[in-house]
Amino acid sequence: MGVNSYVEIFTTLIGWHMYNIGWDVLASTGIVYLPLIGFIVDHWRNAFIDGEESGGASAGLRALEADLYIALFVMMIACVPTSLTALNRGQVFYAPPATSANPTPVVATGNSPESTYANTLAGTSAVVNVPVWWYMVMAVSSGVSSAIIAGSGLHLDDLRKVSDAAKRASIDDPQIRYEALRFYNECYIPARSKFLREPASPAARAAIATYGADDPEWMGSHAFRDDSSLYGRIFAEREVPGWPVDPVRDADQATAPIPPEWGRPTCREWWDGSTGPGLRDKIIGAVQATSNLDSLVNTFGQSLSAERRSDLVTQTVLDKTRLVVIPDPYVPLNTNAVKQTTTSTAAMISGFVTTFFVWLGTAVLKPALPFLQALLLMGIYAMLPFVMVISRYSIQVLVIGAMAIFTLKFWPVLWHLTNFLDDKLALAVYPDADSMLSAMSSFFEIGDPTKAMLLNLVVMSLYVALPTLWSGLMAAAGMRVSGAMAASFDEAVVPVKSAGHGAGSIAGKSVGLAARGLARGARAIRSRFGRGRE
């Protein structure tokens, strides 16, 4: 039995486990027989009130037989759980669709769930019995949805995985974080200050032309690395662990009475790691320990150079780290704090609005909707025994319940279409890999915010609007089908009532004719015997 999400593996088993418990309670208390008794009482009452006008007892008996046969049929196929259509935990599976980010997804089962749900939901029943009708409805619904998704040919890139991975990426190692903070203050701040004071060198201008105007805005700037007067001339202020002492570079310290343990590399060496551990490689290693951002950037950025892909990963995690300037005690503090606060607040509000739509669409709606679908299906399964008994084993309710399950099971098809449109719209808005990965990894803070807001608003709306529209259409269709079935059953009962009414009329006429015949015979006998006495 296929399902549509990891959590649905367990919610399906829980829902049908609750169904079995509910049906056992209703059966053991005799409540399941109350609708049958109700049929008998209703038809007896109607026959008693209508008398011979509607066929009397004959019509009532035939209508009662029809209702009882229908009710017993519904009970047999849709109410009584049977081991012939049991759900086994190991046979309930979820096959995620293949994407560019994950071309060979692992199929999850109840015994191998590939998720953390097993840690808390593994105690559910290993085998639950399911009524034949509902098992068939689930199998057909899941099969139709899976067949449509597989046959659609809409291959997913799953570009939003880049944003998800960027959210998880961080520098958890305090030593690497401290080293990045040192580089920011000892290399980037002095180099940026000199870059802003003096005209840009040809090497810096060439780097900016290649990597963009915002290249000097982060501490891995190629303009600073390529300019020999910037990172090539600026040294670490103190020893950097892991770097060997260079007698030429560290000549002022190498001849000290107590030789230094570690060397002081230039900022270019410190970042690139020519003769020691490079800071950029350390940061990328820290990212690989917390998320798969590096592998995703390599997957979606194959058209980019390895240098650019490394820059994207490093810049993403450094932007999240929020490195700060360590104040120099010998430099007066900047007193223009009001202007800086106003500027940073405006930028923060602008970024918050853009990030909010990204968060709402990817961090809330996208993960929550499959979870909601699984819980709704679980609720339907658990409530079915009570609904069937209260509806007096109505075939109309049988069809409506099947349509409700099919409607919810079809939602993943609509979400698959939405995910496909999300990928293609993102590629249309950000046509090249560089801009797309930069926007995704920075939560759309890089680039045109209007495009980002439009993209996320459209996608967020489709995640909700398409299932809502589909559910409304199916509800209207269900009401129409239910009404048509009710009318067809009424028409089917009319001949029974007519037959009963006709039989009653014939019986009434026969009794009337017999009574009149007897009356004539009695009068004839009286008249004959009366003349004899005279």
Which DSSP string do the residues of 252-292 spell out, in sequence order? Answer: HHHTSSS--SS---BHHHHHH-SSS--HHHHHHHHHHHH-S
Average pLDDT, the chain: 80
Give the global pTM.
0.77
Q: Which residue matches tokens 């609509």?
A: 414
Q: Quick one: 433 and 448 in the same domain?
A: yes
For residue 522, being part of any structural domain is answered with no
Q: What is the pLDDT of residue 38?
A: 83
Candidate from 9-18, 170-179, 450-459 with smallest mean pLDDT: 450-459
Average pLDDT on 144-173 reads 87
Q: Quick one: 248 and 374 in the same domain?
A: no
Q: What is the pLDDT of residue 138?
A: 95
Q: Quick one: 121 and 167 in the same domain?
A: no
For residue 463, being part of any structural domain is answered with yes
Average pLDDT on 348-377 reads 71
Higher pLDDT, 444 or 302: 302
Question: Looking at 351, 369, 395, which one is the last position of a domain?
Answer: 351
Candidate from 11-25, 117-131, 427-441, 480-494 with smallest mean pLDDT: 480-494
Q: What is the pLDDT of residue 332?
A: 46
pLDDT in tens, 171-192: 889 999 999 999 999 999 999 9
For residue 432, being part of any structural domain is answered with yes
pLDDT in tens, 268-316: 999 988 776 789 999 999 998 888 888 888 888 888 888 888 988 998 8
Closest CA to 111 of 135, 131, 127, 134: 127
Torsion of CA 35, 37, 42, 43, to 10 degrees: 120
Is pLDDT of 142 > 90?
Answer: yes
For residue 130, being part of any structural domain is answered with yes
What is the percent of the chain where pLDDT is above 70?
A: 76
Residue 264's pLDDT band, with cuts at 50, 70 and 90, is confident
Average pLDDT on 478-482 reads 80
Q: Quick one: 219 and 302 in the same domain?
A: yes
Average pLDDT on 67-78 reads 90
Q: Quick one: 156 and 172 in the same domain?
A: no
Higher pLDDT, 119 or 531: 119
Question: Which helix (H) or strand (E) covers residue 50, if one does?
Answer: helix 34-50
Residue 499's pLDDT band, with cuts at 50, 70 and 90, is very low
Q: Quick one: 222 and 335 in the same domain?
A: yes
Average pLDDT on 307-331 reads 76
Candidate from 80-84, 205-209, 507-511, 527-531 with smallest mean pLDDT: 507-511
For residue 501, being part of any structural domain is answered with no
Q: Quick one: 252 and 129 in the same domain?
A: no
CA–CA distance, 73 with 63 (Å, rounded to integer)? 15
Average pLDDT on 453-457 reads 78
Higher pLDDT, 532 or 455: 455
For residue 524, being part of any structural domain is answered with no
Q: What is the pLDDT of residue 326?
A: 61
Q: Quick one: 144 and 206 in the same domain?
A: no
Q: Quick one: 451 and 336 in the same domain?
A: no
Closest CA to 310 of 258, 271, 337: 271
Is pLDDT of 500 > 50?
Answer: no
DSSP letter for 3, please: -
For residue 514, being part of any structural domain is answered with no
Residue 383's pLDDT band, with cuts at 50, 70 and 90, is very high
Compute CA distances 4 → 42, 151, 517, whole Å: 44, 16, 77
For residue 528, being part of any structural domain is answered with no
Residues 237, 262: contact at Cβ < 8 Å? no
Q: How many structural domains are present in the chain?
A: 2
Q: Quick one: 154 and 170 in the same domain?
A: no
Is pLDDT of 492 > 60?
Answer: no
> Hey, what are 173's tokens?
């190692």
In terms of residue numbers, what domain contains 200? 163-351
Residues 379, 373: contact at Cβ < 8 Å? no
Q: Alpha helix (H) ranges present in 322-448?
A: 337-358, 366-390, 395-429, 433-441
Please say whether the dihedral angle defined by the alpha carbons of residues 254, 257, 260 and 266, taken in this order, is positive or negative.
negative
Q: What is the pLDDT of residue 94?
A: 92
Q: Quick one: 321 and 298 in the same domain?
A: yes
Q: Quick one: 196 and 129 in the same domain?
A: no
